[in-house]
Amino acid sequence: MIKRIVYGTLIALAIDAGFLYALHLWDVSSGMALSYHAYFALGLGIFFTVLVGVALAFLSFLSARLGVDEIAHDVEDKSNPANNGV
């Protein structure tokens, strides 16, 4: 379990370093310097986008674990006379 956390952290840091390098290249090639406010806004946008993605993924896994989807499938099966053996 600890190995997964360490490897996941290292992969996340490598991805972050790649994004920062790409942002640096974008900043250098554009000819215009971004202000600190622009970097802050960009960081907040990325942070909240990732936060929403993680929250939605967590909710989908949680609903699968709690069996919420199975209840909906059971209702569909009972309403279909072909599946009731009639």
4-18, 19-33, 45-59, 61-75: least confident range: 61-75
Tokens of 41: 């806004």
Residue with the larger pLDDT of the pair 82 and 46:
46
Is the pLDDT assigned to residue 86 strictly greater than 70? no
CA–CA separation, 32 and 30 (whole Å): 5
Of the pLDDT bands very low, low, confident and very high (cuts 50, 70, 90), residue 56 is very high
Contact 49, 42 (CB under 8 A): no
Tokens of 49: 């986008």
pTM over 0.85: no
Phi then psi for residue 33, to 5 deg, are -85, 135
